[in-house]
Amino acid sequence: MGEQAITLELTVSDLKQFLYCPRIPFHRYVTRAPALPTAKMALGKEAHARTDRLERRRTLAEFDLLEGERQFHVPLRSVRLGLSGTLDMLIRTPREFIPVEMKDSVEPPGLNHKYQLVAYALLVEERFDCVVRRGCVQLIPVKEVVEYAITPNMRRHVLKTLTDMRRVLSLERLPEPPANRGKCTDCEYRRFCNDIW
């Protein structure tokens, strides 16, 4: 994919939300509708804070590592990609950089979480001039780590999604809702999607 003029800086969270439901970033950037915090979001923040405190004292065994340094809440930004975000945790070893996202869920990560992780891998690569070969999603309630290899196809998919997002937002037309309307139940923008109720 060639270089292009970036007109709108997006966040990694925007990308994750777009893959979950393209209406979420549409409401954020186009209608500028105020998000209504949900109970699920509040519980997730509490779980993140608890895990942050505990994680600092844990070993890296759950990541199959004997050594490494952890950094928490790592701010990342790429002017070239027009993308920014704050990574939950970055593990640095003498041989690799491993981005880690924490999720307050017992369910396996969805595709949106997987590509969120890939987007963070791209930002880590640019910031630290390295190649990220793997990333992890840590499921907080079950203390389970799901590892993903970061492949060239996954990197291309993230770049294509960023292009698609900018196109959708520039058209200023409400995207179709997700096929799975169960996603709408806990959405902070559900009151602005009158066509699905």
Tens-of-pLDDT digits for all 197 residues of the chain? 444 445 789 999 999 999 999 999 999 999 998 887 755 555 556 655 555 555 555 667 787 777 889 999 999 999 999 999 999 999 999 999 999 999 998 999 999 999 999 999 999 999 999 999 999 999 988 989 999 999 999 999 999 999 999 999 999 998 888 777 777 777 888 778 866 65
Q: For residues 119 and 84, is the Cβ–Cβ distance under 8 A? A: no
Pick the closest to residue 83 from 155, 32, 183 (CA basis). 155
In sequence order, which residues have a C-beta less than 8 Å from that of residue 79 and are 6 or more positions away? 6
- Strand-pair category, 97-103 with 69-78: unpaired
Residue ranges of domains in the chain, CATH in brackets:
10-171 (3.90.320.10)
* Dihedral sign from CA coordinates of 176, 180, 181, 182: negative
pTM for this predicted structure: 0.85
Pick the closest to residue 8 from 31, 27, 29, 35 (CA basis). 29
Q: How far is CA 182 from CA 27, 76, 134, 178, 190, in A?
A: 19, 32, 31, 9, 11
- Residue 197 has a pLDDT of 52
Provide the Cα torsion 180, 184, 189, 193; round to 10°.
Answer: 70
- Residue 96 has a pLDDT of 94
- Residue 4 has a pLDDT of 46
- The distance of Cα 197 from the centroid of its chain, to the nearest Å, equals 28
- Residue 53 has a pLDDT of 58
- Strand-pair category, 97-103 with 134-139: parallel
